[in-house]
Structure 1
Amino acid sequence: MYNKLSIETSKQESELGLTAEESFKEINFPKNRYQNVLPYDQNRVLLNNVQEGNTNFLNASPLLVPFANRDYILTQGPLETTAEDFWQMVWEQNSRIIVMLNNIMEKGSIKYGFFCC
């Protein structure tokens, strides 16, 4: 099933001209928790007010759901090195609710050291 989904995804990416070049840049690549789950350049959340020497890259994509009249941001759980970027995104995007849909443990370690209400 995974291989079939991967093939279909690659086909759609090609047909739609979707790229993830920003994700592979040397400065941005370490900001990705998983190397096979990347935001498309054409549809990603950009950080504002970026300090000199940093980038506006964050592994996060907007998801608009018109029939529900809701907007979401899909993102990987922040790494220690991207936690500040995560909270900056939450602030800049005026996020009101944060939902974590995953296991707290990853490879025997706690995935996140902070939670917010």
Structure 2
Amino acid sequence: MEMMVSKSIAAVDDDNRVILKRCTITDLQLGGYINASFVTTSESVSRFIATQGPLSHTSEDFWEMIIQYHYPVIVMLTRLVDNYR
């Protein structure tokens, strides 16, 4: 649980969270954890991923998620640097 907190800025809902299929040994112990959730809308069949910007120690997980799920667009709704992270 402590590792999940170190990988997250905000909490993620377990019902729709993104799970990494291929990950490091540490991530396997956490069940492929990345702080990201699938988002769907009633007007669209498209699925989106909402996630925090990668931290220095989670950037590999972030790019692994992009490769696994083949999402063509990434939108960042946060500042490039937030509280020096």
Structure-1-length-normalised TM-score: 0.63
Cα distance in 2 between the residues matched to 1:47 and 1:75: 13
Cα distance in 2 between the residues matched to 1:102 and 1:27: 23
Cα distance in 2 between the residues matched to 1:81 and 1:53: 12
What code does the residue aligned with 1:49 have? R
Q: How is 1:1-117 mapped onto 2 (pairs within 5 angstroms)?
A: 25-33=1-9, 37-54=10-27, 55=30, 56-107=32-83, 109=84
SS in 2 for 1:84: helix
> Structure 2 unaligned runs (5+)?
none
What code does the residue aligned with 2:16 have? N
> Structure 1 unaligned runs (5+)?
1-24, 112-117
Which structure has the larger Rg?
Answer: 1
SS in 1 for 2:56: coil
More relative contact order, 1 or 2 (CA 8 Å, 6+ apart): 2
Residue identity over aligned pairs, in percent, reads: 32
SS in 1 for 2:15: coil
Consecutive aligned runs of 4 or more in structure 1 exceeding 4 Å deviation:
none
Paired residue total: 82
Decide which structure has greater strand share: 2
